[in-house]
Structures are given as C-alpha cells and as structure tokens.
Copies of this chain bind each other. A is one copy, B any other.
Amino acid sequence: MAADDEENASVGFASDLGRTIAFSDGVFAIAITLLVLSIDVPDGFARKELGEFVRDEWPQFFAYFLSFAVIGRFWVSHHAQFAMLRVIDPRLVVINLVYLAFVCLIPYPTNLLGGFNESSVSVALYALVVGVASLLALVMIRYTRRHDLLVPVAAARAAASERALIVPPIVFLGSIPFAFVIPSQTPFIWLLLAVDGRFRRS
C-alpha cells in the first residue's frame, strides 16, 4: 500500500474530510477507552489489604493514566491539524491510517508497561510505538503544508505546529537506548514533554 500509487485516485465525491475526521475521532475514542482493559485484577485479590493492593497495582494505574494523557494529547493535536485542512487527498487518508495503526497499538505496550514496568522490552516497545506515532503526526503536518491542503489563513500556525511536533519523536525515540540501561527511570524522560510549552500549544 505504498502511498506513491494512490496519487491519481480520488476517494469519493463529497465529505471525505468530514468522514475521515469522524472515523479518526472514533478510533481515538475507542483506543483511549480500551486502555482500561490493560489493568488486570491481581492474583489473590480477595485476600488483599488496601496497602498491598496499591503496592501491586500502581504501575498499572500509572501506565493507564500515562497512555490516557498520550492518546488524549494525540487527539487534541490531530484535532488542531485537521481543523486547518481545506481539503484531504487520498495519500493523506493513507498516512492518517498508518498513523492510526500506531495510535491503536498503544494499549498493547501499555499492558506490558503496567505489568512489567522493570522490563527493558516493555519500556523500549512503549517508546517505539509512541515515538513512531508522533513521527507520523509530524509527517502529516509536513505533507499538508507541502501539498497545499491547508486553508490559507492557517499557514503561520501550521509552520509553528510543525516546529513543535519535532520534539515528541525526538524524546520518545531518543529514550529507547535508556530503556536498556535504566528501564524503570525512562518514563520520567517522557514526562519532560508535559512541561514543554511549545509542544502543548501545537
């Protein structure tokens, strides 16, 4: 499904942009809601005291809220990007689907991270999946700017968004080597993004 071959296609007569936004919103809403399924009931729950339960489960709740913030942040950013579009072309539909494939995958590394938070594989896979998704968000904004798909008034704003969206893939993909050295501490690197104002305002 190389994007190159889709160039001449045109995917319907009307409302492509609206239906793509609605489909993407649906996917974000479902992916964010499926996160709860990654929290397991601990073995021997019935006999647990509160303190023991919290000690066993906090990595799962941490992973849940982390991924909720990540997917929520992707949704807000996707929302802002697609609100600037004048029109959509078939290649952007494909890039958007590849991007959504990585967003939808997030519940899996969330599950691993919540259950095995000291495993390098868990942490590296989480950083890889979120990093690739954020890289594809950057690819999308570049694509829409270069192929003149934006409403004219959004030009300056889109340029600023593109600059801001460079940060998250650097942070997530750049954290992968740390996952093999200090797995338990690597999530704190990701949390740096929460204090980066440029990212938040993209």
Contacts and interface: CB of A to CB of B under 8 A. Distances in A.
Contacts of A156: none
Interface residues of A, number: 76
A23 B100 CA distance: 16
B65 A115 contact: no
Contacts of A63: none
Interface of A: 1-2, 5-6, 8-9, 11-16, 19, 21-23, 25-37, 39, 41, 45-46, 48-50, 53, 64-65, 68-69, 72-73, 75-76, 79-80, 83-84, 90, 93, 97, 100-101, 104-108, 111-112, 115-116, 119-121, 124, 151, 153-154, 180, 194-195, 197, 200-201
Closest 8 CB pairs of A and B: A12-B83, A26-B29, A30-B33, A9-B201, A72-B97, A12-B80, A68-B101, A13-B83
Given A23-B75, A45-B119, 5 more contacts: A13-B151, A32-B100, A41-B115, A50-B120, A76-B97
